[in-house]
Structure 1
Amino acid sequence: MAAIKTLLIDDEPLALRGLSIRLQVHEDITIIGTCANGREAVKAIKEQKPDLVFLDIQMPGFDGFSVVRSLVGEIEIPLVIFVTAYDQYAVDAFEAHALDYLLKPVEEDRLAEAIERVRDALSQRAAVEQNARLLELLEKMDNPPSEALTAILEKPVEMPSARFDPHLRIKDRGRITIIDVADVSYIDAAGDYMCIHVGDKTHILRETMKTMEKRLDPKVFQRVHRSTIINLDKVKEVRPHANGECFLKLEGGTELKVSRSYKDVIGRFL
């Protein structure tokens, strides 16, 4: 298990100590240092190049957002988990491309979930770097067999599940609702907005259908119409129609039409 070099940044000594203690149960987390303010944090991040940073947002003078902004264009920014006592900063935290966001006092279960997201993100990054090294090696070979190169480069890449989002975060009036993707029944488009249907509730997310498709595991979520994505695990009945279209009945009784352009999806049920 590779060590995840971690830097803790908070102007409250007790908060630093509490987080440090909670992280001890995660054997792959290696704390390489702590910082008490934003300017110390920028210097430490540039010098020590951590994999992960727990960053307090509200610090006097140079806050957590300022730390991230000062690093843009300077170095490769590490994974960032913002930590704060005030949930009013949640929307800004995700707009600053934080991997996750924790409220003080940090709960152990919520911390464990955040660490798992870190592991997934680092695993994905390592896979990309490994593929890049492979291609570089092949380019340096004097006479690489063309058949071997073709087989390697044309082989479909099986993307790890870490690539796909396990949760959707819905921003609404300064608050964020976290939805487990597995609970989503279907998603339909309304202009530039996605309607996320979970049970008898509908959440609105500003996003395009194309972007949403990339976030979801295609083994579970499939497009069945120009403006509709369904969770295959929620389908309870398939009803063919005479004109070549088909209807799917989901948990809860909702029926959705599968257009002829997406009829190949039905093969997953037959």
Structure 2
Amino acid sequence: MSGPIADTRPPHGLKDGAIRPIRTLIVDDEPLARRGLVLRLAGHPDIEIVGECGDGAAAIAQVHRLQPELMFLDVQMPGADGFATLGQIPAAEMPLVVFVTAYDHYAIQAFEASAVDYLLKPVDERRLEQSLERVRQAREHRAALGHCSQLLELLGGLSGRPPLELDEALQPDALEQLQRDERLSVRDGGRVVRVPLHSIRWIDAAGDYMCIHTDDDTLVLRATMRELERQLDPRRFPRIHRSTIVNARRVIETRPHSNGESFLRLDCGQELKLSRSYRDRLQLLQ
């Protein structure tokens, strides 16, 4: 007699030809509790256990090393409890979190910590399935938001502006507007400095910093020549030396020098060297 027909449909979270299990870390100071959760999760093919640990310090280290997408985190642990542990994980490394606890009064605090869900010990199979469904939905949502965020940041980067809002990016002329932006935006630590293009005289490099010389001041910012070049129109702001960009509109005189080099005099009296490697830019300055 033939046996039952096997179910060939892909399991939850898996698609034909695109299997990417949810990398999962289990954190609990009780070895038996960890073992029980591992056994229950074994019945879910889209869950891959990548690590286990028994305290907050180890959890922080494992999150950094393993980069899990999901963490089952015990609330009550010696040393740093589950909430304190979360507070020490950088936002960029934060996995989805399901708290595991023996006390339901931690539920509100769990959701305030932006947990996907919380489970009461001993873990019920049906509740575990509900939590995993929430995890799958949260994972899809996070992926969509991450993709959107990267796209908006890329669009904003065309003019050096901070990342666009979604409604800005959806405007039909969004790219044209970005390219017409009349300010240079430079990220400097936690701030964004926006400099009117017409006020820039020249820009030069000083080690790991860039000096933007304007009509009013000299801004010293931690940036790279490549970052600034990407944002500036090379016809208006040609590079004239490996460490210098000039505002072509501010050049009032060019003077040839030996070895194919030239000197440029700006309307403020400053002289800059146009090196031999960039002498093709001379036509933009005349």
What TM-score do you get using the length of structure 2 for normalisation? 0.46
Task: Point out the structure with max Rg over C-alpha.
Answer: 2
Structure with greater contact order relative to length (CA < 8 Å, sep ≥ 6): 1
